[in-house]
Amino acid sequence: MRLAWGAVAGAVTALAFLVVCVASLSGDWASFFSRTAAEKMGEFVVGFVRPAADAAFLRKLGYATLETLAISWLGTLIATVGGLLMALPAAGRWGRVARSLSRLVLNVLRAIPELVWAVMAVIAAGLGPFAGTLALAFHTTGVLGRLYAESLENVAPEPHASLRNHGVGAVPAFWYATFPQVLPQLMSYALYRWEINVRAAAILGVVGAGGLGQMLHFHLSLFQTSETASVLIAMIVLVSLVDALSNVLRARMTAPR
């Protein structure tokens, strides 16, 4: 009993798995630390120190930032509405079959990564921010729908039940009893998702869905390190601002009045 066999066995298994994984990879570690890699990374650092800042470029950058913000904001908004609509059956309001079906749909929406959605949206709606918005909307509906369904299922049933008991219809009972209880959580999840979606929106442009990502891909493929650095800085600033705003809004909503 001196040796904690369980812990040791677990640690050994984890390490063995790791070793197998390392062995499965190309093992091209040397290239990461090679001279050419160092030179290229050096060029990036140089680009970062002197990011592009001429007026015309900054105008484009500003517009792309607003575009990215709009993609994330509108995509999340659509997903909030869609997610709430899908959450009602997924929480079991309309029986077990509806619950299973809607949960299946939500899982499919969630499981497909935003980037894959974006590629498909680009095919359907053409290059540009609309594709990005659609991609985010679809994927986030799956995520929020699942979270909202769980919130709805965890809500205290007494207020709703007591209203139904004096003959109130299901829809008004929902709005007067259930909805006010879950509203803070719904908003909180939505804002949290917005933070994540801003990052996602910035990236979706890589496959042509507009915004900062499209600019990033463009300049990166031309290896224009200064412009790339500017785009990255814009991304970081945008993400930080949205994070801060989201935190403030969430704190205000959960603060005791």
Partner 1 sequence: MHSTPGAGAGTTACSGVRVTYAAGADALSDVTLTFAPGEQVAVIGPSGAGKTTLLATLACAMRPAAGSMQVLGIDPWTLPGAELHALRRRLFLAPQAPPLPPRQRVVHAVLAGCLPQWTIWRALRSLIYPRDAEIAREALARFHLEDKLFLRCDRLSGGERQRVALARLIASNADLLLLDEPVSSLDPALALNALEVLQDEASTRGATLVVSLHAVDLALARFSRLVGVKAGRVMFDLPRAEVTDQCLTELYGTELGASMQAPPDEPAAVLKLNRCT
Partner 2 sequence: MHLAVVHDLRDPAWHGRVTAAVVFIVLLAPAFYLTEFNPAILWGDTSLRALRQFLGSFFPPAASPEFLQLVLAATWKTVAIATVGTAVAIAIALPAALMATRILSISRIATGRMALLPAIVRTGIRWLLIFLRSIPEIVWAMIFVRAVGLGDTAGVMAIGITYGGMLGKVYIEILESAEQQSATVLLQNGAGRLQAFWYAALPVSLPELTSYTIYRWECAIRASVVMGFVGAGGLGQQMELSMKMLAGGEVLTMLLVFVALVWAADLVSAFLRRVLA
Q: How far is CA 91 from CA 103, 154, 186, 200, 245, in A?
A: 9, 9, 14, 28, 30
Residue 8 is a binding residue for partner 1 (CB under 8 A): yes
**76 vs 178, which CB is nearer to partner 2?**
76
**Which positions touch partner 2 (CB under 8 A)?**
10, 17-18, 20-22, 24-26, 28-29, 31-32, 34, 36-37, 40-41, 44, 66-67, 69-71, 73-74, 77, 108, 111-116, 119-120, 123-126, 128-130, 132-133, 199, 202-203, 206-207, 210, 216-217, 220, 223, 232, 235-236, 239-240
Q: 60 is in the binding site of which of partner 1, partner 2, none (Cβ under 5 to 8 A by kind)?
A: none
- Smallest gap from Cβ 153 to partner 1, in A, equals 22
d(CA 58, CA 46): 19
Q: 71 is in the binding site of which of partner 1, partner 2, none (Cβ under 5 to 8 A by kind)?
A: partner 2
Q: 4 is in the binding site of which of partner 1, partner 2, none (Cβ under 5 to 8 A by kind)?
A: partner 1
Angle, in degrees to the nearest 10, between helices 114-125 and 179-204: 70
125 with 138: CB under 8 angstroms? no
d(CA 249, CA 255): 10
Angle, in degrees to the nearest 10, between helices 129-153 and 179-204: 150
Residues lying near partner 1 in the complex (CB under 8 A) are found at: 1-4, 8
